[in-house]
Amino acid sequence: MPQDYYKTLGVDRGASPEDIQKAYRTLARKYHPDLNPDDKQAKQKFQEVQAAFDVLNDADKRKLYDRYGSNFEAASAAGAGPRGASYTWSPQGGAAEVDLNDLFGGSMGGGEGFGFGDIFRQFRRGGGPKASRAAAGPSRGADIRHEITIPFSTAATGGEAQISVRRQSGKIEDIKVKIPAGIEDGKKIRLRGQGEPAPKSTGARESTAGDILLTIHVSPHPCFRRRGKHLDLVVPVTLAEAASGAKIDVPTPRGVIRLSLPPGTSSGKKLRVKGHGVAPPGQTPGDLLAEIQIVLPENLDEEERQTLERIAAKHPQDPRAGLQW
């Protein structure tokens, strides 16, 4: 049964481009194979979502899909008239477009299979020196616009990702993409020569494939937050570690480090670890800012609470003195 691209993305047929992109990002995060390593069906679902987005995110492809349904690519290749010719004409004054093949019934006295569009092709072939020079120009394939959601760690340290691209032929192709370290959400990567192949043209001097314009989206991290090249991390510590000082293990993009906690450290204290943030190629690495968060033990008994009260009475302080509206 043909795939309904609107149902695949969970949007109405009248959905705006913004709604389509939002639905794609949500489903791409949900079914991305890297985020679902134990789900054997995740890759298949991700490819279905990708195929639907590739069509509905392209205004021209979406228009053909809405008109012809799942066979839109075959209909597009065949054209609206004989031999793939479809021409429109619009008189001055803003009148509606008229399809000349429809106007003349798809043929014009030239026998079966001779369409009005064939006359235009004859004009192009016999258009004089200018037409010949145009036909001899370079030929280039179409660009493909694509989106991908990558893990936070891949965006920070770089790595490799894989995209599934649906070609005009209908074939789905997997392409590996190198992700540079430090790439930010919303940035674009151009994959030169990975787009659609150039249309066949006997008169073209040269032909080149189009590009893939890849928009990067970054999944949020459960612990880290990013500010440019810097990383923020909340580090929980025990009351004893904060009071007495301790050496604690903290994860970073380049491995676990041992952080020295000064005695008497309060919650909210930020410790800067230079060079352990994001390191884009050719740039000085950012820093890691570790914010200390004291975690009290649960279920303190009466004697333990009284001990803390005695400590507080011995060292009176007003930690909220600076709060104001």
What's the rounded mean pLDDT across residues 45-72?
Answer: 83
Measuring CA to CA, which residue among 126, 115, 124, 55 is closest to residue 84?
115
Tokens of 129: 């020196």
pLDDT (0 to 100) of residue 220 = 93
d(CA 293, CA 159) in angstroms, rounded, equals: 32
Tokens of 192: 């030169």
Residues 205 and 310 in one domain: no
Percent of the chain scoring above 90 in pLDDT = 46
Is 321 a domain residue?
Answer: no
Is 257 a domain residue?
Answer: yes
What's the rounded mean pLDDT across residues 61-66?
Answer: 86
Q: What is the CATH number of the domain that holds 289?
A: 2.60.260.20
Query: By the 8 A CB rule, do 216 and 231 touch?
Result: no
Tokens of 268: 């909210």
Is 91 a domain residue?
Answer: yes
Is 323 a domain residue?
Answer: no
* 267, 157, 54, 32: CA torsion to nearest 10: -60
For 28, the domain range is 5-131
Picking from 131, 163, 183, the residue at the C-terminal end of a domain is 131
pLDDT (0 to 100) of residue 258 = 94
> Is it the case that residue 61 has pLDDT exceeding 50?
yes
What's the rounded mean pLDDT across residues 274-283?
Answer: 93
Picking from 131, 164, 186, the residue at the C-terminal end of a domain is 131
Domain tally for the chain? 3
Tokens of 112: 């079966």
CB proximity list for 186: less than 8 A, separation 6 or greater: 215, 216, 217
Picking from 177, 192, 218, the residue at the C-terminal end of a domain is 218
In this predicted structure, which of 12-21, 34-43, 134-143, 161-170 has the lowest mean pLDDT?
A: 134-143
Residues 147 and 123 in one domain: no
Is 172 a domain residue?
Answer: yes
Query: By the 8 A CB rule, do 214 and 221 touch?
Result: no
pLDDT-derived band at 81, boundaries 50, 70, 90: very low
Strands 246-252 and 255-261: antiparallel
d(CA 175, CA 187) in angstroms, rounded, equals: 19
pLDDT (0 to 100) of residue 30 = 86
Residues 187 and 285 in one domain: no
Q: What are phi and psi of 81, to 5 degrees?
A: -130, -175
CB proximity list for 193: less than 8 A, separation 6 or greater: 208, 209, 210, 211
Q: List, for residues 225-277, the tens digit of each pLDDT value.
A: 999 999 999 999 999 999 999 999 999 998 999 999 999 999 999 999 999 99
What's the rounded mean pLDDT across residues 101-113?
Answer: 39
More confident residue, 105 or 136: 136
Is 170 a domain residue?
Answer: yes
pLDDT-derived band at 201, boundaries 50, 70, 90: low
Q: What is the CATH number of the domain that holds 103?
A: 1.10.287.110
Measuring CA to CA, which residue among 126, 127, 121 is closest to residue 86?
121
The H-or-E segment that residue 286 falls in is none
Residues 54 and 155 in one domain: no
